[in-house]
Structure 1
């Protein structure tokens, strides 16, 4: 199952649209809310001791809810008010509201406060201008010593993707790490690879896609 959440909109994107309005309309239009955890997050987090986690671009909340059910205390962040309200409501329904805090942020302008043991950025893509490396660098700075920053990106274009530009370059994990420019004396790359998997699109179609995985640990200060 492809659980890449709101980074695969099927709506046409106009350059003059406001990002917050675009994503708000996207989520209001969703009639189902059957979010699942992204498997690469589950694979990474399952062996860890639960602590404080930050879910950047939480979307439908599959990751945040899964983490909370594994005893993590999660801050779930999205640009869409509807998205964070529905995640909050789902957490209440499951009796885990005490482990899920939701915040609405346009990460181009603000970032949640706090220190975290895990920051997850799953398919953190948008059709709007965003200083993504700056946001992810701030996420790295928000880690406690020993904490992990997990970045999972698209490494290929799925047939159902909103961006079908044949010349689109998908930065490799090594390129992403270089863009973050985190001091190797304080952050260590634990994983940088590009696995293939079978994904399912919104209409049930399937395709082999590539993920770009970067896992960084804050080792000091």
Structure 2
């Protein structure tokens, strides 16, 4: 469920096998730093239980655990989860983390609830993020928060093929996914300056933060 540069020879990053292949090597894929909108919003919350869906190598999981959260990292890639577990061990927070191999598009909560449910840069195909957000809302505990962050459509991503472009979304697109007992706290496309391949560019993080009423 990715936004990577398209090449016909590349794996399909909308599906788990593509990410299994990407995470199969030895080199790190991501920086290990927490996503900026997670830091911006979660630093104000009292630690409790958290679920990070699409956790990849576990940068956000490690950061949350260091802030005192008990965190479940979820991803559909077993190789990604293995990397994340290793990083949590190296960071000394393995006792505050556990792991759940699951596809965000089809998972069932099975009675689980979390004080914070978060996902960053998850882009299922064909505008599938609305349904994913609805599923994520179903595992937020009363009084808990849902934080969903992704790439807003932009000319910066004009090189992507049509399928990847359709997978992007604005924060407002996700409002219909929220049940009636959720209060929207943030719903905006936040500008951010990033460095990629030696170039500085402006992007927007589609950011939805909502609280489930107790």
TM class, shorter-chain normalised?
Answer: 0.7 to 0.9
Describe the shift of the 1:167–1:42 C-alpha distance in structure 2 as closer, same or farther (beyond 3 A): closer
Describe the shift of the 1:174–1:28 C-alpha distance in structure 2 as closer, same or farther (beyond 3 A): same
Describe the shift of the 1:145–1:22 C-alpha distance in structure 2 as closer, same or farther (beyond 3 A): same
Consecutive unaligned residues in structure 2, runs of 5 or more: none
Check whether the contact 1:152–1:213 (CA below 8 A) recurs between aligned residues.
Answer: yes
CA distance in 2 between counterparts of 1:167 and 1:142 reads: 27
Check whether the contact 2:133–2:174 (CA below 8 A) recurs between aligned residues.
Answer: no
Runs in 1 of length 4+ with deviation above 6 angstroms?
Answer: none
Return the match for 2:21 from 22, 25, 42. Answer: 25
Listed as ranges, the matches of 1:1-221 within 5 Å are: 7-10=2-5, 12=7, 19-29=15-25, 31-33=27-29, 34-111=31-108, 113=110, 114-126=112-124, 128=125, 131-157=128-154, 159=156, 163-165=160-162, 168=165, 170-178=168-176, 180-183=177-180, 186-201=181-196, 203-220=197-214
Give how far 1:8 is off. Answer: 3.4
Give the secondary-structure state (helix, strand or coil) at the position aligned to 2:23. Answer: helix
1:84-107 superposed Cα distances (whole Å, 9 cap, x missing partner): 011111111222111111121122
CA distance in 2 between counterparts of 1:112 and 1:120 reads: 14
CA distance in 2 between counterparts of 1:21 and 1:182 reads: 32
The TM-score, its normalising length taken from structure 2, stands at: 0.85
The TM-score, its normalising length taken from structure 1, stands at: 0.83
Describe the shift of the 1:166–1:56 C-alpha distance in structure 2 as closer, same or farther (beyond 3 A): closer
Consecutive unaligned residues in structure 1, runs of 5 or more: 1-5
Check whether the contact 1:9–1:161 (CA below 8 A) recurs between aligned residues.
Answer: no
CA distance in 2 between counterparts of 1:175 and 1:75 reads: 27
Alignment length (residue pairs): 210
CA distance in 1 between counterparts of 2:160 and 2:153 reads: 11
